[in-house]
Amino acid sequence: MHVLHRGIKQLNNFLPHTNHWLILVASVPVSLSTGTLFVYSVYGTQLAERCQLDASQTANLNISATIGTAFGSVLGGLVTDIYGTQIPMLISCFSISLGYAWVYAQYLKGPDSSVLQLLSAMFLVGIGSVAGYFSSIKAVTINFPNFKGTAQSITIASFAISSLLFSYIATHTFHGDVGQFLHFLSIACGLSIFIGFIFIRVDGHIDAIHHQHEIEESRSTPLETDALLSETPSVGDETEVEDETKFQPSDLKHLGLKESFLHPTFWYHYLIFAIVQGLGQMYIYSVGFVLKAVHYYYTNVLVETTGPIPSLNSLQALHVSIIAIASFIGRLSSGPQSDYLVHKLHSQRHWVLILGLGLMLTGHLLNSVKIDSISTDLNTVNIYLSVVSALIGYAYGFSFTSYPAIISDLFDMRNYSFIWGAMYTATTFGLTVMTKIFGFIYDTNSDHWDDAAHDYVCAKGSGCYNTTFEITSGLSVFAIILILGYIYERNSRPKRVETAQIA
């Protein structure tokens, strides 16, 4: 790794000049390419059919990719903090390109494909989907210290809109040809992330240590050495420092990596983040089953819909698009609002989470309602569910985007990528628990035999899933209480300190 790092440093002498604006712009193609992880729904069905995979094997491909993201987030974060942003960009570039090329090769083999190789390929795609992405988030955070929420929102929103963009390309450019689309992903994603390698250049710990030795050799003062080791821009950063030290636990900023992971604040936020991610991603992954249950009920049981009946596929495509667009808007609007809270209202970013979870709670409560009591027409119900998808999609994007800035407020930027990568592993736990709850309740209600499908299906409409959303609504309230408790504790701490000083 040291040899590769030194080689890259030599190569940088021949690369174009970069600055904070070019870093922000370059983070967009990186995010768009790494966001293709969620384009799996575009080719997953055809891949399963061609390679003759059953439902369990197909689900395992998603799990393998998720495990890859957890591994990549921790590995990429550690490498970013130590060696800077360029090596994680290369990891992401080659992993995602090789992963998609491997999936493409297995797709061409069809029935002769290897499930183990497909799992390995999706694991690589998972690694490539986070290593460079998280590296670019740290880069824009460091280069826009006073507006890091806004800068991060641009990068994170680009990740969210990726699925919609590449779905459009798959449909209108490749006309559903999955093989050619996978081949395109293997080339386009690697080239786009390589743009990040060229322009997103932020040093790591090892470079700061090197600079320190140079300063000591030139007999500089300790103050100059400390400035170089701080990884925080010193120009125009007075407001940011004042706001963060006033409203955040400043003692965390000086903790080492081990102490940060052992601190209760980390695990407190780990739990909150697991709930936030689980609430949003569970709905995103399960909305197809929600629509399937409703569509079956209104077309086979109730049969009172007036006008043309939309197909299940068209409903699913519509809601995927609604969620993607709403999440994109939520991510784009979250950063500026959190910056406004900090700089103008002199408050904490955690209030953004309260707003986001309030909207999330509304969406989950709406899904706990028995829809057939509202309308007997499928088209009217679809409008109702579209509002739910828009609310949850926006709330998920809005809440998620606030978290990288919150972590950078709380902990030392020297270890930011590794801490954020470790925090992101909470997604796996939150998503697993809530999807298991959804699946158990859905399967329990699937007691109606369908002659056409030759299988048991759920014919209860919203009764197939509304119990799940009653439970998740309670979890939303629980997360809101946790955040309010943290805000209260942070606001009351300075008072306790002042009282102790007076005494």
pLDDT for 238:
37
- pLDDT for 251 equals 54
Q: What is the mean pLDDT of the chain?
A: 83
User: What tokens appear for 488 in the block?
Assistant: 């209260």
Interatomic CA distance for residues 204 and 413, integer angstroms: 10
Q: Is the dihedral of CA 347, 350, 354, 360 positive or negative?
A: positive
Distance CA 348, CA 490 (A): 9
C-alpha closest to that of 348 among 184, 215, 144, 486: 486
- Per DSSP, 301 falls in state I
How far apart are the C-alpha atoms of 273 and 275, rounded to whole Å?
5
Q: DSSP for 420-475?
A: HHHHHTHHHHHHHHHHHHHHHHHHHT--EEETTTTEEE--SGGGGTHHHHHHHHHH
**Which class in CATH covers the domain with range 2-202?**
mainly alpha
User: What value does the mean pLDDT take over residues 137-153?
Assistant: 87
Q: How confident is the model at residue 451 (pLDDT cuts 50, 70, 90)?
A: low
Q: Is the dihedral of CA 481, 435, 157, 327 positive or negative?
A: negative
Decide if 32 contacts 161 (C-beta within 8 A). Answer: yes
DSSP state of 413: G
Q: What is the pLDDT of residue 248?
A: 46
Which pLDDT score is estimated for 30?
95
**Which of 328, 403, 343 has its CA nearest to residue 141?**
403
* pLDDT for the residue numbered 214: 58
pTM of the shown model: 0.78
Residues paired with 449 in a beta bridge: 456
Per-residue model confidence (pLDDT) at position 503: 37
The pLDDT of residue 496 is above 50: no
Cβ(350)–Cβ(406) below 8 Å: yes
Alpha carbons within 13 A on the beta-carbon side of 251? 8
| 134 pLDDT higher than 70 | yes
Length in residues, the chain = 503
CA-wise closest residue to 285 among 310, 311, 319, 313: 319
For residue 296, what pLDDT is reported?
87
List C-alpha distances in Å: 323 to 125, 163, 218, 354, 431: 23, 11, 56, 20, 17
**Per-residue confidence (pLDDT) for residue 233, from 0 to 100:** 44
**What is the dihedral angle through the alpha carbons of 226, 227, 233, 234, rounded to the nearest 10 degrees?**
130
Write the pLDDT tens digit of every residue in 204-237.
Answer: 877 766 666 555 555 544 433 343 344 444 333 3
How many percent of the chain have pLDDT more than 90?
A: 35
- The arithmetic mean of pLDDT across residues 23-45, rounded, is 87
Residue 19, amino acid = N
The band of 24, judged by pLDDT with boundaries at 50, 70 and 90, is very high
pLDDT of 171 higher than 90:
no
pLDDT band at 362 (very low <50, low <70, confident <90, very high): very high
* Tens of pLDDT, residues 352-361: 899 999 999 9
- Parse the chain into domains and list their residue ranges: 2-202, 258-502
Angle (nearest 5°) at CA 358 between 357 and 360: 60
Partners of 457 in beta bridges:
448
Helical axes 131-143 vs 416-424, angle rounded to 10°? 130
Residue among 82, 84, 64, 83 nearest 129 (CA): 64
- Contact in structure between 58 and 48 (CB atoms under 8 Å): yes
The pLDDT score that the predictor gives to residue 361 is 96
Right CATH for 258-502 from 1.10.287.3510, 2.40.30.160, 1.20.1250.20, 1.10.357.10? 1.20.1250.20
pLDDT tens digits along 233-271? 433 333 344 344 444 444 587 888 888 889 999 999 999
How are the residues of the chain apportioned to helix, strand and coil, as percentages rounded to the nearest 5?
Answer: 85, 0, 15
Count of alpha carbons within 13 angstroms of residue 167, beta-carbon side: 19
Place of tokens 């990068």: 155
Q: Give the residue ranges of DSSP H helices in 297-311.
A: none
CA quadruple 381, 383, 384, 386: dihedral, nearest 10: 120
Residue 274, pLDDT score:
94
Going by pLDDT thresholds of 50, 70 and 90, the confidence category of residue 182 is very high
How does pLDDT run across 420-430, given as a tens digit for each residue? 888 988 988 88
Q: How far apart are CA 430 and CA 475, in angstroms?
A: 11
Residue 487 belongs to what H/E stretch? helix 466-502
Q: Which of 194, 44, 189, 183 is nearest to 102 (CA)?
A: 183
> Which among 466, 335, 457, 334 has a CA at the least distance from the CA of 388?
466
CB 425 within 8 A of CB 274: no
* Own/partner pairs, 179-183, CB within 8 angstroms, 24+ separation: 179/104, 179/107, 179/108, 181/42, 181/43, 182/43, 182/100, 182/103, 182/104, 182/107, 183/101, 183/104
- Round to whole Å and give the CA distance between 154 and 335: 8
Q: Which of 59-63, 376-380, 413-417, 491-495 has the lowest mean pLDDT?
A: 491-495
The answer to whether 132 and 76 have CB atoms below 8 angstroms apart is yes
Q: What is the pLDDT of residue 211?
A: 61
Q: What is the DSSP string of 32-88?
A: HHHGGGGGHHHHHHHHHHHTT--HHHHHHHHHHHHHHHHHHHHHHHHHHHHH-SHHH
pLDDT tens for each residue of 292-311 = 889 888 888 876 666 678 88
Cβ contact 201:13 at 8 Å: no
The C-alpha atoms of residue 400 and residue 156 are separated, in whole angstroms, by: 9
Please, is 71 exposed, middle or buried when counting C-beta atoms within 10 Å of its C-beta (0-12, 13-18, 19+)?
middle
H helices of 297-449, where? 312-343, 350-367, 378-410, 416-424, 426-444
Tell me: pLDDT of 447 over 90. Answer: no
